[in-house]
Amino acid sequence: MDPLQVLPHRYPFLFIDRVTLCEPGKAAKGIKLVTRNEWFFPGHFPDQPIMPGVLIAEAIAQIAAFAAPQNAHPGKIGMIASMKEIQWRHPVVPGDCLELSFEVISSKGPFLKGRGKATVGERLVTSIAEMIIHSKSK
């Protein structure tokens, strides 16, 4: 599935290259190939490029859109309302293949609650115990 068909995000703020699993109302997975040419690396950090943790959290939020119940909120934009127990365990560097996943805990009205994680290979780099996405009108 093409992320551009679902997400309103565009370069330089689209952090999903490919969706690998889309189960509306249940879960979603996708990948981001992190290259040396990413716009954030020259300043974070010049001698040791590391993907900012908040952008990894944003990538998890973007993959959450593919786990939302089908046609739940057409014409609306999902925004992060809250995150609990977020942990950044390892840095993400150029050349990494960031694997993103989001699992739905519940969905009620304009709110989608779930848990997310990002891995590089078998290594857990970021975990979010609870993320709430609020669908709002454009």
**Annotation says 90 is catalytic:** no
Phi, then psi, of 34 in degrees rounded to 5:
-90, 115
44, 73, 90, 134: the active-site residue: 44
Tell me the average pLDDT across 30-34.
98
Q: Compute the mean pLDDT over every residue in the chain, rounded to the nearest whole number.
A: 94
Domain ranges (residues) in the chain: 3-137
CATH code, residues 3-137:
3.10.129.10
pLDDT in tens, 46-99: 999 999 999 999 999 999 999 998 766 677 888 999 999 999 999 999 999 999
